[in-house]
Amino acid sequence: MDFSDKKVLVTGASRGIGKATAIAFAQKGAKIGINFRSNLNEAKKTLSELPGEGHHLFQKDISQKENCQTLIDEFISAYGSLDVLVNNAGISIFHDIDEVDFDHWTDAWENTFRTNLFAAANMCFCAAQAMMKSGGGRIVNVSSRGAFRGEPTKPAYGASKAALNAMSQSLAKKLAPHNIYVGAVAPGFTETEMAAITLTTKERENLLRESPFQRMAQPEEVAHAILFLASDGAEYSSGTIIDVNGASYLRS
């Protein structure tokens, strides 16, 4: 896969899957916009680890809709065009229905949807306007295995990712005539801060047993699938949702 001089924007790229994706694109010659919300030190560290030149940081909380348009505008000012958008930023909040109070429940749903779905939808809108002007592009949305098998302790998370899948498929149909190809990658548990924070030791042991690989995914393995969907030759895979879950959950 060659991304020489492609301009790629990765949301939530200060750490975890976003960081691995940014590095993987940069290794193939792309220029990367690293979006993140708050952790400037981590973002600067990621920037320093990218091979090649011409990469930039874009600190924006994309759960605020006005920041999505500003982010795309600033990216276009810096690079002239946008070839690939990876909607990776996401949050995961516990809200067990038999434990939390109503305020916790409603906050969890609102915050989860604002980041995992509405931000991605708004980024798709703003990116698509820029891509239509320049003749095309690629959008890859980072979903989750939880969209398919349920998330009993984080139902808003599972629902937001199921909606993200449906949005990806709808936009794949709508945008193909504009040479914009849209896909999604659905990881299982992946060795990042998000997984470290949300898992107890016992849960971790149980989860490792779910995959015949007896391990979590590495962020680089998720990045590999993201790059495939954004690569030349993957156009006809538009609308696809790629599972990266070590055969832990096989959907038909």
Residues in the site for ligand NAP, rule: CB under 6 A? Answer: 11-18, 35-39, 42, 61-63, 88-92, 115, 142, 144, 187, 189-190, 192-195
Cβ 23 to ligand NAP shortest distance, Å: 13
Give the pairing type, strands 180-187 and 137-142. Answer: parallel
Cβ 170 to ligand NAP shortest distance, Å: 19
CB nearer to ligand NAP: pick between 1 and 194: 194
Catalytic residue (one of 157, 181, 236, 249): 157
Cβ 246 to ligand NAP shortest distance, Å: 12
CB nearer to ligand NAP: pick between 169 and 179: 169
> Distance between terminal CA atoms of the chain?
29
DSSP, collapsed to helix, strand or coil, labels residue 11 as coil
CB nearer to ligand NAP: pick between 139 and 142: 142
CB nearer to ligand NAP: pick between 39 and 179: 39
Residues 6+ apart with CB under 8 A from 47: 34, 55, 56, 57
Q: Do residues 10 and 39 touch, judged by C-beta distance below 8 A?
A: no
- 79 carries an active-site annotation: no
Residues 6+ apart with CB under 8 A from 210: 188, 248, 249
DSSP state letter for 231: S
Distance of CA 161 to the CA centre of its chain: 10
Cβ 91 to ligand NAP shortest distance, Å: 5
List, by residue number, the catalytic residues.
157
